[in-house]
Amino acid sequence: MSLQELDFHGQPALRLALPEGGACTVALHGAHVLSWTTADGTERLYLSPEARFDGQSAIRGGVPLCWPQFNQRGPLPKHGFVRNVAWRADPAGAAGKADTLVLALHDDEATRAIWPHAFHAKLAVTLAPHSLRIALTIDNTGGAPWSFAAALHSYLRVDDIDQATLEGLQGANRWDAVRDDRHVDLAPALRFGTEFDSVYAAPARPLHLVQPSGTLEIAQSASCTETVVWNPGPELSAQLADLPDDGWRHMLCVEAARIDEQVLLAPGGSWQGWQLLTVL
């Protein structure tokens, strides 16, 4: 196992690599997972070739962190603020685990100007030959309770969205954000081609992203009570400045999330949400 510091499009990043060839790269900006390759060299995450790396904007692709707000459901910037600030590497946080990369963020004057609470956030990225586990831990280090929403906004790479299906959400309660409609999804497998933006009640069993080239299993912690599935489709993709017009064809967001019932965290309290991606 090797860990190296590198410059990624002008931004400081860390790369964790396995002896057998798998690797992941995480930017300090936003504690943003940028890349995950398995031992065969296949890239499993989608990172937009037009993503901005200016140290201020959110990075399009990879795994952005949404916290303490999801989307525009509140007074904060879209998806909160932690994806837009610099984190620091925390070697001590890995507790001697060579397969785990840990980044940390504490509240400071800048964060308290946006959100007036004391917190400690930690992102632990654990790499194995066929899997990647991303865990977000939030601690309330202040003297009063506060609430939050969260999501691991994973952009998964697909060869061709026309040939990809997502299995495991049949029977789940669904809010279709495109049509503003709530219903139970009866489809045994989801297919994509137009804008798709839905929040599902997270099922107990892992999902499967199925493609001709293979299957990716997607599991999440019970603390993440929703699963968000998003693909911009051709029209929205063409409108997003940091996404190629055909970017929608090569990505599918499947997000571990806590949205509708926010976490209320007492002083001294801790919460963790995780997502585990496994190549079958």
CA 30 to chain centre: 11
Residues in the chain: 280
Contact by Cβ (8 Å): 123, 135: yes
Reading the block at residue 121, the tokens are: 């956030």
Which of 146, 178, 167, 265 shows the shortest CA–CA distance to 215? 167
Where in the sequence numbering do the catalytic residues fall? 153, 255
